[in-house]
A and B are shown apart, each in its own frame.
Chain A
Amino acid sequence: MKKIHIILLVLVAGSIAVLMSFLKTSSTYDTIETAMAKPGKFVHLMAKLDKTQPIEYDAVKNPNFLSFTAVDSTGKSMKVIYRNAKPDNLELSDKLVLKGKYTDGLFDCQDIQTKCPSKYKEEQAKGGTHPGNIPQSK
């Protein structure tokens, strides 16, 4: 066996090991119920903003504190806190990916990814005002 083949084997094995260990550190996508089942564990919570509940954010008091209620597809809801600025399009989003941990009855969020309805779908949502100036109703 050539030296280069030994090195090849070692490096390929190393790469596989690296990928395996990456999978070990990876987290999971969760609903509120499954996230609550593993408190203190970092998860990706798939939910949306509960628009019936208030959003608490006052940039002058503390620009790094946001609190709101998230509700998931099963209808369960949970209070979320996020120690950062309020994402621009929080109210507009139709889906949120909340990255954080469930602790003490709260979801302590480290990062929020807002998923906005694409313009295309937005147009079709009934009653919504239309960015491209197409009147939706009479």
Chain B
Amino acid sequence: MDYIGEQLLPGQLGHFFIILSMVAALLASVAYFLSAQAKNPGDENAWKKLGRIAFLTQVFSIFAVFGLLFYIIHNHLFEYHYAWKHSSRSLELKYLLSCFWEGQEGSFLLWSACHAILGSILIKRSGQWEAPVMSVLSITQFALATMVAGLYIFGWKMGSNPFILLRDSGVFDNAPAMHVNFDINQPVRPDYLQSVTDGNDLNPLLQNYWMVIHPPFLFMGFASTTIPFAFAMAGLWKKQYGEWTKPALPWALFSAAVLGVGIMMGGMWAYESLTFGGYWAWDPVENASLVPWMIGISGIHTLLIYRHSGHSLRATYLFFILSFGFVLYSTFLTRSGILGEASVHAFTDLGMNWQLSAFLFAFTIPPLIYFARNYRKIPSVQQEENISSREFWIFIGALVFFLSAIVIIGQTSTPVLNKVLGTNIAPPEDAEFSYNSIQIYVAIIVAALTAFSQYLRYKDTPRAFFWKKMLIPGIITLVFCALFLLLGDIKYDRKGPVFNGSIWLAVFCSIYTIVANFSYIWLGLKGKLRLSGGSVAHVGFGMVLLGILISSSNKDILSNNIGGIPAPLAEGENPRENLTLIKDMTANMGRYSLTYLGDSAHPKKEQWYYKIRVKSNDGKEDFVLMPNAFVNYKGNEGLMANPDARHYWDHDVFAYITSVPNPDNAKDTASFKPYTRKPGDSLFYSNGYIVINELKRRDSVPEDLFGKEGFLYELPLTIHSKTGSIYTVTTHLANAKTGYFALPDTVPSESLVLQLQKVNPDQTMELGVKESGAVMKYVTLKAYRYPMIRLLWYGVWITAIGILISMVHRIRMNRRKSQEQTV
């Protein structure tokens, strides 16, 4: 059957290039393998040439697939499931790329594309290592290509094809309107495309600029862990057990910088567009990407030890294999749907769990066995490390970092444990604290080691030399810590004095790291910036730690719900974090006062911006925050909020909306409509019904207000809104000196004003009901103040810059060495 309006060519071409990339990757891997195994140079070069052609074909195919998929999304070709599911016509151009990586297929392609770029550089630069390294990289590329292959092999589906058509995707299976004769057993209507006018759009939470750049960085980070791994494998393979470390080091540094930045960009995205009130929540998805980075960092440090002292080569192998292995494990965790209840990030199960676990096992178990079998052949130094040597302490640091990563992934893996062993382990009551309470000690140890180990020398350090060098940074640190003791504060006492004390200690250690490494640039390296990458990175790392410690432990909740606003709290109840602001009514919250000024709508979308004026009581800060929210977006009832923050050099003020009145309630019937009812009756209003409860008469009323004859009627009412909410209000009718007068009560969220107007002798009464959109506008929000959060962001960049300085330095050194060798 022909379907009207479909463009089938881009999809067919796309699928062709996917298959081509898969075949080419396999061919490249085999050709490079034969080249690496070849006995004579002629064969070696011939196979290498074929490998290169195959790999570059693969590179071209990947980018063709990328381009075609982008064409489909950009032109809103909703006959393709991918475009329909992840984009829409109203989506801004800049987010079209994010649509790409919203789906699993797109993110696999992104990963593949990163490998393609790295592989092309390797072909040019890796010299004698090209064949074995590219063989490993190409087989990884093959595995990734199978993830998007969408091929059926004996009824078993391999991979998920991003170019699948909407009508083939199963979406129409339960949509009779899309089938001939409205019968789902009949084929899809030829003119179905006319009914598909728009796509599902990108998840509003992903409509944020960090989501445009975070995934490319993250996947480049993931992809780059493959390179040191491939070098390690090549080292074992070619029996050049130590030589690979030289070319692998710049790659490992690159990987650490890019992956680190990628992870923290995710943190910035979470901070700016998610509403858990922070940048890190120890969510399984975050942990799964942090762990490979931590192990990679350990690998870099042991590699440096090896290059300078000959120790720790075996550990270096292990760390690089595991760093790559945990990237695959994280892929498995986040994409298989196994995390289920454990993660707030909803990942849909594509039904590829077997393929994902096969990928994981095929690329971790054989390398580990290969490593174990060659373990004895890997050279190691028999002589013990001297306790005053640099390598001794760096090794301990790397080990602590590695074990901390293992503990984190262990804690994260309980859903896997539940699945495999059938246990029933859920996260503890305070899941974040279960990580923090452990990692705070890792931070203390690692920060302290980072501070002093640069002042040690490899092999052996004379005592006098060490103490002399350590004197100045030690004194400066003491001064800073004393200043912090006097002026700063750590207010986190919720978890007892031990944890609080640990935070203090960690703060001091971070200051020590910053000061000691900063000083080392001059004391140890005479201010030569090009050599001081390590120290710069360590300064950044110290800043990251300090920023995390201060911003998390001194986070202030500005929306503490204490007094002021009509939010009655039971006695002994803790102040809570949500605060309702009624339009134009200022709520004074201690250090700040908050006012809700009004809202404005996005011209194209169901997205509202709420103007919240924030004023500090010392008069120094006065600004308007505009947190926004998607309300009832695309027919999805509910609210999706994005925070807004005001940045100061030393703190951020941050707010997001947690609840708004339902806009459907804004109907105005400005006058009171009278209804006559008796207790037990009910009456309807536009959005539900009201139950009239028992009428009470109170005679003991203050005489000075009501006069001698005065009394008060009390009528409790229960309002049942059709959304399911129940409200109880009590209206009053007073008989005072001046005669009867009504005291109305309001239900703001239902835009309802109720008053008891008259009580008849036969116990019936007249109730006045007014529905007004203008009753009250309000928003409910949470607001926080984060001190020193900038320190964290700058720290991340400085760490990355430091690592890149080292990378450049190492590349230069390698080149100089190879030139010397050729001369």
Contacts and interface: CB of A to CB of B under 8 A. Distances in A.
Given A3-B387, A18-B438, A115 B659 contact: no
A132 B659 contact: no
Contacts of B665: none
Contact of A134 (B172, B385, B727, B749): B172
A15 B403 contact: yes
Interface in B463-511: none
B627 to A, nearest CB: 13
Contacts of A7: 396, 399
Contacts of B410: 19, 22
A104 B580 CA distance: 29
Contacts of A126: 174
A109 B724 CA distance: 19
Contacts of A119: 85, 200
B749 A58 contact: yes
Given A59-B659, A119-B85, A137-B177, A28 B636 contact: no
A37 interface: no
B659 A85 contact: yes
Interface stretch (B531-539, B560-568, B615-623, B692-700): B560-568
B663 interface: no
Contacts of B341: 29, 44, 46, 97, 113, 115
Interface in B686-717: none
Interface string B417-429: 0000000111111
Interface in A90-138: 90-92, 97, 99, 110, 113, 115-116, 118-120, 123-124, 126, 129-138
Interface string A1-20: 01110011001101100110
A68 B659 CA distance: 17
Nearest to B414: A26
B804 to A, nearest CB: 31
Contact of A124 (B85, B173, B723, B749): B173
Interface stretch (B92-100, B137-145, B638-646, B754-762): B638-646
B720 to A, nearest CB: 6
Contacts of B426: 26-29, 43-44
Contacts of B541: none
Contacts of B122: none
Nearest to A49: B724
Contact of A132 (B200, B428, B576, B578): B200
Interface in B375-389: 384-385, 387
Interface string A76-95: 00000001111011111000
Contacts of B384: 2-4
A96 B404 CA distance: 32
Contacts of B123: none
Contact of A12 (B403, B438, B635, B637): B403
Contact of B568 (A46, A56, A61, A84): A61
A73 interface: no
Contact of B197 (A110, A133, A137): A133
A35 to B, nearest CB: 12
A25 interface: yes
Nearest to A8: B399
28 contacts: A14-B403, A15-B403, A19-B411, A25-B429, A26-B427, A27-B429, A55-B723, A59-B580, A62-B567, A62-B569, A63-B561, A63-B576, A63-B579, A64-B576, A64-B577, A64-B578, A85-B658, A86-B659, A91-B723, A92-B637, A92-B638, A119-B200, A131-B636, A133-B197, A134-B172, A134-B175, A138-B176, A138-B182
The 4 closest A-B pairs by CB, nearest first: A64-B576, A85-B658, A63-B578, A55-B724
Interface of B: 84-85, 171-178, 182, 195-201, 341, 344, 346, 348, 384-385, 387, 392, 395-396, 399-400, 403-404, 406-407, 410-411, 414, 424-429, 434, 438, 561, 566-569, 573, 576-580, 582, 634-641, 658-659, 661, 720, 723-727, 747-749, 776, 778, 780, 782
Interface of A: 2-4, 7-8, 11-12, 14-15, 18-19, 22-23, 25-29, 42-44, 46, 51, 53-64, 68, 83-86, 88-92, 97, 99, 110, 113, 115-116, 118-120, 123-124, 126, 129-138
Given A59-B749, A59-B780, A133-B196, 18 more contacts: A3-B392, A19-B411, A22-B428, A54-B726, A56-B726, A59-B661, A63-B578, A64-B561, A84-B578, A88-B639, A88-B641, A89-B638, A89-B639, A115-B346, A119-B85, A131-B635, A132-B198, A138-B176
